[in-house]
Amino acid sequence: MFSSDQSCCWFVRKVICWRAVASMAWSVLLLLPTTALFVLLIRFSLFHPILWISECLSLLTSASAIFSFILLCGVVLMVGFFNLEYYTVVPSIACSKIALLGQVLHPRQFVHSLVHCIMGVVVAWCCAFTIGGRYRSLGHSCTQDESSSGPEMCLNEYHLVLLLVGAFIGYSHSLVGVVYNMNYVSFHTMQQYKYLRFKGALPLVVKASAVQALYCLRTFLLLYFFMGYAPRAWICKTLDLNINRLTSQYYLNLPPRPLDLNINSSIHSLDSVSSLLDLSLLYHLWISGTFLLLTWYITVLLFRIFVTEVYSFPVQSTFTEDAHQCLPKVITGTQPMILKFLALQDLALLSQHSPSRRLEVFSLSQPGGHPHIWTALSKECLSLLSDLTERLVAHHDTVATNGRAKSQSTGGNKRSTTSSEGSVTSVGMEDMKTPRPGALIRTPGSVFLRSSVGAGLRTPLTIPFTPDLDSPFSSPALRRLTGPLEPQGALSPGFSSIQSPHVMRRGPKLWSASTDSQLNGSPPPSPGPAPSPSQAQLKPSFLVTFLQNRKDQVKHFLAKRMLIMYLFNKLPEASSQALFADSQVHIWALQGLSHLVAASFSEDQYGIVQTTLPTILSTLLLLQEAVDRHFKLPHTSSKPGHCSCSMGDDSYKTLRFALRSTLKTSVYRITATFGGHLHAVQMSAEHRKRLQHFLEYKE
């Protein structure tokens, strides 16, 4: 644990922070041309090109422009800081509307939204300053015909609208970021240099920001038209300004109040449709919104590009103090998540492209002659893959029983009852997880998102299994806690608490074996350290059944309410996506293993890979079977959907397809390399048959 802490520290300090700083520096640098372009666009005048250019130049070089530029730099740095603080490599997938709502309302997210709102106002202020003219200040002195009481200050609504647009876009950026997982950082299959990647993505970013600004503007104008009075009045009251009530007073023949004597004011109020649909106003608002989003998106883009850059870890080091930075150590670590991802990516790349580093992997330790490096790497990859297999099997079991019986409540309860009595299966699976509690999932950015109203009681441990809360992964104690509050699973369409005979028959049959072995007190050998017996084992079962009954009642009651149904319904596809949310590591593990094994055919001088080959093959085949079964489930589409054009990265939605294809390719890579030699590998008859299919190219 100590070493992993140490490695986490050095990595975040030495690599991630520097990458984030570099990305922020580049965004600040890029702010210059962006701002110049913005100034040119916003001050555009078709008929006075020379005046236009000279005005822009003088504006860009003025001292006040430099002040607002510094403000913009501050905003960009802030956005970069938030990117660093909130990013995640494992997306948080809300499995129901209520979970999504919980994410949106979470305090951490609230801070994010608030800060972005403020930053939006700041950027909009800079924009207003740049545009000048009628946008320049919030108040303006009303020129009055009868010089009665000196200059009056009136509210400049153009300025106000611009500021509100900034705030609105800032908030919606934050909100959309949650819904579309904008803080998710995905890794690319293709490696490209940073500059080229940025160049390739830039047109998309510009397009996305323009489109997003347009949508935001539309929504904002609607809102402002209907509810704009409130901020207007509030601002006036606070700052003691006048509202220009030119049109309304004029037409309604209201008696002018003493403060509203600004008949000749050139600035109108903006509460009529025609005044809001002023083309120049719309253009200015749209360009400002696009500018705001563009600078932020570029910051996000640069952060993603920098942070996902390949990092080459040394395979072995000559000095022991650097040992914690080596690939075999780093790959087994769990925190931070990005470290594990980068390590596995490096493994996949070295296995594919770098013969010299592969030789290091296949080498033996100098005193002793043990293949420590290969053992560590293969063990980690295999445990990742078998984790996934178990996850899939558990999910499949849950869905299969429920799907058939149309009643999750009973089936699930039966399961949770038995498992809280200590079923072997669940204990075994928990054991698998205990060496790394929650590690796979917890990232700085993702923790907060999950703990929320709906998901509030789930620990990060259960996150990938949010779709099936009754899965044996979540600890019984937790489940009991969540039980009464967590009607999510049971409220899926068509579920009722009628106890179907199928379930009655099926439940005990499924779990009888486990109860037996529990009675025998002989848990099967588990790879992890000593099993941690769940405390629920000690609880009297009547309490459990009582709680179950209450839970059923609550579920039954709630299931009849439409709104609640809507909120708690599982989103289609979400469970499958959540199951494969972190599958990028599995893909790399598969690639790394299969390439190393294939390379070992000619490069492994000591035959160290051969000792692991049966395990690798059986793990791959088991996973293959589990994945095949998963894709045969109903509600899992067999083809990836098409991505929308926005900044939110939805590559996590297709990870399962990538995994399926990589898995097959990996098995084929091994069979194509070894060919008939695989007959000499020891494996079960079923696996041999399966492998034969691969050897004959019939999968």
Partner 1 sequence: MHHWTKRNVVMMCSLALFPPPLSGDGETSQYNESNTDPSVWFEDSPALNLYFPRESLKPHSRQESSSKSAFRDHCETLYTRSAGAWRDAGLSGLLNEIANSSAEVPKWLGVSSSCVLALLRWVSSFHSSLFPHLTLSSEEMTAEFSQVLDWSDCAVRSFAWHPHTQKCAVALSDDSIKIYNPKSATTPTLKHRLQRSVAALQWKPLCASALAVACHNCLLVWHVDPTSLSTRPSSGCAQVLSHPGHSPVTSVAWSPNGPLLVSASPRDTAMLVWDVAVESCVPLHRVGGGGVTYLSWSPDGSRVLAATPSSLFRVWETRMWTCERWPSLKGRCQSGCWSPDGSRLLFSVQGETVIYALTFTDNPGMPLMMSGGPKAATVVADLSETTLNTPDGDIMVGGEIQSLAWDPRGERLAVHVKGDAGAGRPAMIAVFKTQISPAFKLLPCGFVQGEAGTEPRLMQFNPNYQHGAQLTVCWSNGKITHVPFCFMSAGNPQPGLGGSPSLPLTQGRPADYNNQTLYTELIS
Tell me which stretch binds partner 1 (CB under 8 A): 151-159, 295-303, 320-328, 347-355: 347-355
Alpha carbon distance 479, 469 (integer Å)? 8
Tell me which stretch binds partner 1 (CB under 8 A): 94-102, 415-423, 612-620, 690-698: 690-698
**Inter-residue contact 368 to 380 (CB < 8 Å):** no
Query: Is there binding between residue 668 and partner 1 (CB under 8 A)?
Result: yes
| Cis peptide bond N-terminal to 460, omega within 30 | no
Query: Is there binding between residue 456 and partner 1 (CB under 8 A)?
Result: no
Tell me which stretch binds partner 1 (CB under 8 A): 316-324, 534-542, 620-628, 661-669: 661-669
Give the list of residues 6+ apart from residue 267 with CB closer than 8 angstroms, or none: 134, 140, 154, 156, 157, 158, 244
Residue number with CB closer to partner 1 (136 or 664) = 664
Query: Is there binding between residue 352 and partner 1 (CB under 8 A)?
Result: yes
**Inter-residue contact 669 to 683 (CB < 8 Å):** no
Query: Is there binding between residue 145 and partner 1 (CB under 8 A)?
Result: no
Give the total residue count for the chain: 699
CB of 182 to partner 1, least distance (A): 18
Collapsing DSSP states into helix, strand and coil, what is residue 126?
helix
Among 85, 360, 397, 699, interactor with partner 1 by CB under 8 A: 699
Helices (H), 308-450: 327-332, 337-353, 355-361, 372-405, 408-420, 424-433, 444-450
In the chain, helix, strand, coil percent, each to 5?
Answer: 70, 0, 30
The DSSP secondary-structure symbol of 539 reads S
**Inter-residue contact 246 to 262 (CB < 8 Å):** yes
Query: Is there binding between residue 637 and partner 1 (CB under 8 A)?
Result: no
Residue number with CB closer to partner 1 (509 or 698) = 698
Residue number with CB closer to partner 1 (203 or 525) = 203
CB of 196 to partner 1, least distance (A): 7
Helices (H), 88-242: 97-105, 107-131, 157-179, 194-227, 229-239
Residue number with CB closer to partner 1 (548 or 584) = 584
Residues 589-618 that bind partner 1 (CB under 8 A): 595
Task: Determine how many CB atoms are found less than 10 A away from the CB of residue 644.
Answer: 9
Among 47, 226, 319, 697, interactor with partner 1 by CB under 8 A: 697
What track of x and - describes contact with partner 1 for positions 536 through 575 (by CB under 8 A)? ----------------------------------------
Alpha carbon distance 311, 347 (integer Å)? 10
Between strands 152-155 and 139-142, the pairing is antiparallel
CB of 512 to partner 1, least distance (A): 36
Q: Which of 331, 332, 313 is nearest to 322 (CA)?
A: 313
Residue number with CB closer to partner 1 (69 or 668) = 668
Residue number with CB closer to partner 1 (76 or 590) = 590
Residues 639-658 that bind partner 1 (CB under 8 A): 639-640, 642-643, 651, 654-655, 657-658
Alpha carbon distance 309, 102 (integer Å)? 32
Residue number with CB closer to partner 1 (380 or 650) = 650
**CA atoms within 13 A of residue 112's CA, in its CB half-sphere:** 28
Hey, what amino acid is at 260? D
Query: Is there binding between residue 319 and partner 1 (CB under 8 A)?
Result: no
Q: Where are the beta strands (DSSP E) in 479-533?
A: none
**Inter-residue contact 457 to 485 (CB < 8 Å):** yes
Query: Is there binding between residue 188 and partner 1 (CB under 8 A)?
Result: yes
CB of 105 to partner 1, least distance (A): 32
CB of 191 to partner 1, least distance (A): 5
Residue number with CB closer to partner 1 (48 or 632) = 632
Residue number with CB closer to partner 1 (287 or 350) = 350
Residues 481-510 that bind partner 1 (CB under 8 A): none
Site residue total, partner 1 (CB under 8 A): 35
Q: Residue 100 to residues 162, 581, 674: CA-CA distances in angstroms? A: 30, 16, 48
Query: Is there binding between residue 665 and partner 1 (CB under 8 A)?
Result: yes
Residue 195, judged by CB atoms within 10 A of its CB (0-12, 13-18, 19+), counts as exposed
Residues 196-215 that bind partner 1 (CB under 8 A): 196, 200
What track of x and - describes contact with partner 1 for positions 248 through 287 (by CB under 8 A)? ----------------------------------------
DSSP-assigned beta bridge partners for residue 153: 141
**Hey, what are 145's tokens?**
């015909």
CB of 592 to partner 1, least distance (A): 13
Residue number with CB closer to partner 1 (513 or 643) = 643
Alpha carbon distance 45, 55 (integer Å)? 11
Residue number with CB closer to partner 1 (509 or 639) = 639
Among 354, 496, 497, 615, interactor with partner 1 by CB under 8 A: 354
Among 107, 256, 355, 533, interactor with partner 1 by CB under 8 A: 355
Taking phi over 0 as left and psi of -120 to 50 as alpha, with beta for the rest, 649 belongs to beta
Helices (H), 605-684: 608-632, 655-674
Query: Is there binding between residue 360 and partner 1 (CB under 8 A)?
Result: no
Give the list of residues 6+ apart from residue 295 with CB closer than 8 angstroms, or none: 27, 31, 34, 72, 75, 76, 79, 123
Alpha carbon distance 214, 285 (integer Å)? 9
Residue number with CB closer to partner 1 (353 or 679) = 353
Binding site for partner 1 (CB under 8 A): 188-193, 196, 200, 352-356, 595, 639-640, 642-643, 651, 654-655, 657-658, 660-662, 664-665, 668-669, 672, 696-699
